[in-house]
A and B are shown apart, each in its own frame.
Chain A
Amino acid sequence: MSITANEEFRPKIVAFCCNWCSYAGADLAGSSRLTYPADVKIIRVPCSCRVNPMFILRAFEKGADGVILCGCHPGDCHYSTGNYYARRRMALLFSMLDYIGVEHGRTRVEWVSAAEGVKFSQTMNEFVAKITSLGKNVRLEDLRCRK
């Protein structure tokens, strides 16, 4: 009995990264030769506050197994206060997803600065491990998107 690489579950992870801190943090992780799984697909947004709750749901609809939002640390937002609003929105949205039965671990917010390449890499490794343990997202997926 052997499990071939193709049958192994590889989660699809969408990471929304703010342009000013977290995207630069990801960049730093890369240039520092730190690794994180290729399952994470980064979408760059101008600010964590740009992320509409619909973006998160849309990602799940199209087959993401986990969604993470990364932005500047509170107090460090390039636009002063964007991440404070994002924090409230995501707190409510994640709580709602939990309420309708989507495991809480599938969503996450992490504040990553441009200097935190190590944190970025660690966060992504942790998140991928978490989603791998949770398995495939079947509750918010749109069945039409299955191959």
Chain B
Amino acid sequence: MFKIAKCNLPELLKAIAAQQELYLPVNISGQTNFAVWTEGTEADLDTLKTVKSPKDMFFPQSETLYTVRKENKKLSIEPEALKEQKFVAFGMKACDIQGIKVLDKVFLAEPVDTFYRARREHGTIVALACHAPEETCFCKVFGVDCAEPDADVVMWDLGEAYAWKPVTEKGQALTDSVSAVLESAGAAEEEAVASEQAQIRAIVEKLPYTNLSLKGWDGNATATKFDSPVWEKLYKPCLACGTCTFVCPTCQCYDIKDYDTGHGVQRYRCWDSCMYSDFTMMAHGNNRTSQMQRFRQRFMHKLVYFPANNDGMYSCVGCGRCVEKCPASLNIVKVIKAFEKEAVDQ
């Protein structure tokens, strides 16, 4: 194990950025999101959750797939190059990493998404254990331990310094490359990490959503949940915006579109939201025609369809971003609780 004094953090970031691309949480115009490090960038590691989840680094909101050019009556097609440079995703949290594992199930299964795979292969994840979990967090419900993120390198906040522990080969390689700025750590730090973990886990136990029950939600729940009258009551405040899907670390739906550049076409894909009226629009029209159906789709997908297709793995990680950001204060927790109440009432 190693450590880095908080005051030396800029040195560490500089050392990483000197060798590869570095993404980290940065506060821009009052909001913290992941951004590329450039000279003078200050990391914001105190904000627990970035507004947008870090899935952007592996599955960007918009990415070009290929470009068609028209010149002298000839068409040329230029595929977009796959990610070839290594990069570091710095400061991810345990829930966000679980989110990436959900995306892996989708994009790394056959047929493999080559754009995503290239990013996954070239990315090294440096995680930070959640020093101060918040009331909107419920990662424990989905089996995530925010005191021990599953990453290439894990960091813990020890007050004056961060502990730095390489876990995987990739993590070791990164550690070796910046060893000049890291200090080696010993038993005292090991102990400090253990107490930090105990402190985190004690807070997690006190979080209001920690004991949320997922009883009744699994891959076989379609029959009991799909036609429930609860949805009809629940969806009403939904404004049909895409906030929940765009801040979510696991929402993976996208749309593919063409942009007319005037001298050709750029084909790109961008995140789509099942809350939108034109989601999965096909020649015959749309298969979900009411907002209730769209609303139901999102939660059924996360809690029923996804586990049905992925060995019981839920595609919610309990990060709580939708809890924080929904303009109408709807969220997955309210949905789960409403069904629980329904079951009790019956």
Stretch at the interface among B186-194, B256-264, B278-286: B256-264
Contact with A along B261-274 (1 / 0, CB 8 A): 11100100000000
Q: Is the CB of A147 within 8 A of B263?
A: yes
Residues of A within 8 A of B261 (CB): 144-145
Q: Is A62 an interface residue (CB 8 A)?
A: yes
Residues of A within 8 A of B259 (CB): 144
Contact with B along A136-147 (1 / 0, CB 8 A): 000000001101
**Contact residues, A56-99 vs B (CB, 8 A):** 62-63
* CB nearest neighbor in A for B265: A144
Residues of A within 8 A of B262 (CB): 62-63, 145
B266 is contacted by which of A62, A63, A144, A147 (Cβ under 8 Å)? A144
Q: Which 9 pairs from chain A and chain B are nearest by CB?
A: A145-B261, A144-B261, A145-B262, A144-B266, A62-B262, A144-B259, A147-B263, A63-B262, A145-B263
Since A63-B262, A144-B261 are in contact, a sample of 7 more A-B pairs with Cβ atoms closer than 8 Å, ordered by chain A residue number, is: A62-B262, A144-B259, A144-B266, A145-B261, A145-B262, A145-B263, A147-B263
For A, the interface residue count at a CB cutoff of 8 angstroms equals: 5
* Tally of A-B Cβ pairs under 8 angstroms: 9
Residues of B within 8 A of A147 (CB): 263
Residues of B within 8 A of A144 (CB): 259, 261, 266
B75 to chain A, nearest CB (A): 15
Contact with B along A117-147 (1 / 0, CB 8 A): 0000000000000000000000000001101
CA distance A62 to B263 in the complex (A): 11
Residues of B within 8 A of A145 (CB): 261-263
CA distance A62 to B261 in the complex (A): 8
B88 to chain A, nearest CB (A): 27
9 A-B interface contacts by CB (under 8 A): A62-B262, A63-B262, A144-B259, A144-B261, A144-B266, A145-B261, A145-B262, A145-B263, A147-B263
**Contact residues, B216-259 vs A (CB, 8 A):** 259
CA distance A63 to B262 in the complex (A): 9
CA distance A144 to B262 in the complex (A): 9
CA distance A147 to B266 in the complex (A): 12
CA distance A145 to B266 in the complex (A): 9
CA distance A147 to B67 in the complex (A): 12
B9 to chain A, nearest CB (A): 34
CA distance A63 to B263 in the complex (A): 12
* CB nearest neighbor in A for B268: A144
Contact with A along B122-153 (1 / 0, CB 8 A): 00000000000000000000000000000000
Residues of A within 8 A of B266 (CB): 144
